[in-house]
Chain A
Amino acid sequence: MTKLAEIVLNGLALGSVYALIALGFVVIFKASGVINFAHASLLLLGGFTVAKLHDDLGFTLALLVAVVVTAAVAGLVEMVFIRGLGRTEVHTLTILTIGVDILLTTELTRRIGSDVLSLGDPWRAGVRDWNGVHIADARIACVVVAVVLIGTFFAAFRFTAWGLSMRAAAEDREAAALMGVRLGRVQLIAWCVAGALAAVAAVFLAAFPSAGLDRSTGQIALAAFPAAILGGMDSAAGALLGSLLVGLTSALTAGYQSDLSWLGANLGDVAPYVVMLLVLIWRPTGLLGSRERARV
């Protein structure tokens, strides 16, 4: 029983990190119709900035700087590549983000090399014990931070002027533009928000029980793709649901690996993708994605 409880708690913590990343995908998709493949490199950039600065500035300040830097770079990508091509087809823009990702990832992995960088987070390797259920401090912090950030995000989405413009733009770009919504600004803010969330997610991906930030940390962001897709790419609530599902699936398959050994080692890494495929066969637009209707 304690094992199950530990696994579920870990799964929820993992799910909340994925949620931070998946929300970034969804925000960008809603605002500009692009699936942002450069997200993995933005995440790596956030983690790398914290790793380089935490010695001099202390962790909190370093994290703040990283959030600002990553948001700024994401905004820059939007301004330079996405906005200028506003009339081009969205598939082309999606491939363009792959090009940006290659550039940024190559630069960062070259700098990181084969090192494993510590982010100097305050939780270190602390573990808490509740009636025999062990859970790492970093995981608890992760859930708390994710809940606060995601709550803020949903509130902003629901109650602020930006949220309203964002929802209007996602509903119908042309009508929104005619009603005076500045699509450019909405899109820019969306990219910045996604970048900021990615930087925070990087910290928790590199925190205990992970060893630290290495060149493959960005790859983990890819696991948030199934989360965003299986929830429905245009639904923020779907991203949340998908992330928790993916987090729990990974944790459960990794936790009960010994009983599933006939399926091979490291099952936790592929389980999210299997779940995604199964969901897509059942519902091609994801669990909470808006259904497409076309009449011929």
Chain B
Amino acid sequence: MSDRPSAPVSRAAESIPVRHAAPARPGPRRWAGPGAVVVVVGVLLVLPFYVTAFWLQTGLFAMAAAIGAIGLNLLSGTTGQLSLGHAFFLAFGAYGYVWLAGDSGRVGVRRLSGAGLPPLLALVLAVLLTGVVGGLFSPISGRLRGMYLGVATLALVFIGHHVMLNAASVTGGFNGRSVPSMGVGDLTLTDGRPDGLEVLGIPFGRLERLWYFALILVLVAALTARNLLRGRPGRALGAVRDSEIAAAVMGVAPARYRSAAFVVSSMYAGLAGALIALIFNRVVPDYFGLALSIDYLAMIVIGGLGSVTGAVVGAAFVTMLPQVLSKYADTLPLVVAPGSPESGVGPGEAARYLYGAAIVLVLLFAPGGLVGLLRGRPGGGPGGRGQGLGRLGRTQGSIRIGSKE
């Protein structure tokens, strides 16, 4: 299965922070990856013709999360910079889109402001603005390493939540704000305009239209990330993670690359946030809490650190788990429907147990994540054509570099 001979490799050799180029794959294996992608995309393209609204909605959330997770993986998986502030950037993207596309006006007793831009322009601007905010954080994101950054970014979540609650004219305060729909010209991603749109006899409503929009965004996001990782930026980011000093010697400025990774990751989060807003139709501050940041971290760990495919798989796993558990709560043993008088584990709790356990088990037994398991490399060894960069760093020396020297 493995590309490399599975002869016992000594721990010492394993920990040398040099990645050898993967040997060329034997014939049929070489097309396994792209083939799988084509099959999955094909299935996703026809899915709206066959499944119910519940599955479309769940799938849409998974796609939005996939974009955010790909971004976080660039930062945490490839660069080794932990971030717990992803929820903040998701929120910024979501509210940025809502404010830029929304109209000023009075809703109930509250005056809301908005720029009233065309929705597509608003989406692009929201993503760019999120990148700018990520860039403003660069004095911290460039200088702090690894877990320190993780704790520092906690601050963003709490400060962001505070701002969302208090800047009521932009965000709508505690009760949130409704989301203007996406659309270009006469085609909107809602149930109306054009009314009664049908394709092959299937009514094409809001969810179906959003589905294809989201699918395009996911593909663009994944391709961009893959190309970033395979080119010089990806190698440089990996070098910064493995050994900052070695990277600096090779002409890679660690601080600049760390802040650049942070900016790119926040732009991904901004796009994901805007998409989530479109799916929800309403944004509320409480959704973007610390738990959401931890969800994204769970996605990339469970999927496989440093891999684009891993981020997508992890995102699907973490977002769909609670939904599926609550849908089938009646038939599953030990799980009870939410709010039911029976004592037992609610679906939300069951999902949290499962993914808490998944994080622990994956890190203990398969540091390469689900994708590492699929590729027959549970240890997340090198290879995978520049994608399977494995776990977050693997050098012993970084313990010392990280704390004192």
Contacts and interface: CB of A to CB of B under 8 A. Distances in A.
Do A and B come from the same complex? yes
Interface of A: 29, 33, 35, 81, 84-85, 87-92, 94-96, 98-103, 106-107, 110, 170-173, 219, 222, 225-226, 228-229, 233-234, 263-267, 269-270, 273-274, 276-277, 280-281, 284, 290, 292-294, 296
Contacts of A229: 148, 151-152
B404 A234 contact: yes
Contacts of A100: 356, 360
Nearest to B155: A273
Contact of A103 (B162, B245, B360): B360
Contacts of A225: 151, 154
A95 B155 contact: no
Contact of B150 (A35, A85, A219): A35
Contacts of A222: 154, 290
B401 interface: yes
Given A35-B147, A87-B396, A89-B394, 10 more contacts: A90-B146, A91-B146, A92-B367, A99-B359, A222-B154, A229-B148, A233-B403, A270-B159, A276-B155, A284-B148
B258 to A, nearest CB: 12
B395 interface: yes
Contacts of A98: 294, 297-298, 359
A173 B154 contact: no
A92 B391 contact: yes
Contact of B353 (A103, A171, A274): A103
Main secondary structure on A side of the interface with B: helix
Contact of B405 (A228, A274, A294): A294
Interface residues of B, number: 60
A296 B399 CA distance: 18
Contacts of A99: 298, 301, 356-360, 363
B144 interface: yes
A266 B349 contact: no
A44 B166 CA distance: 29
Contacts of B245: 294, 296
A101 B297 CA distance: 13
Contacts of B106: none
**Interface pairs A-B: 9 shortest CB-CB:** A264-B166, A99-B359, A102-B356, A273-B155, A103-B356, A99-B360, A91-B392, A284-B143, A106-B352
B399 A33 contact: yes
13 contacts: A35-B147, A35-B150, A88-B391, A102-B294, A103-B353, A222-B154, A233-B403, A270-B159, A274-B155, A276-B152, A284-B148, A290-B403, A294-B405
B374 to A, nearest CB: 20
A147 B404 CA distance: 29
Interface in B131-168: 139-140, 143-144, 146-148, 150-152, 154-155, 158-159, 161-163, 165-166
B310 to A, nearest CB: 14
Contacts of B151: 35, 225-226, 228-229
Contact of A33 (B11, B393, B403): B403
B392 A294 contact: no
B363 A91 contact: no
Interface in B1-47: 11, 15
B248 interface: yes
Contacts of A96: 359-360, 363-364
B162 A269 contact: yes
- Among A106, A222, A225, the most chain B Cβ lie within 10 Å of the Cβ of A106
- Among B139, B147, B398, the most chain A Cβ lie within 10 Å of the Cβ of B147
Nearest to B357: A103
A156 B159 CA distance: 38
B82 A81 contact: no
A187 B1 CA distance: 39
A89 B162 contact: no
A143 to B, nearest CB: 26
A92 B392 contact: yes
Given A284-B143, A294-B405, A296-B245, A89 B398 contact: yes
B162 A270 contact: yes
Contact of B162 (A81, A106, A110, A266): A266
- Among A90, A107, A172, A294, the most chain B Cβ lie within 10 Å of the Cβ of A90
A176 to B, nearest CB: 12
Given A99-B363, A234-B404, A292-B404, A264 B165 contact: yes
B355 interface: yes
B208 interface: no
A225 to B, nearest CB: 5
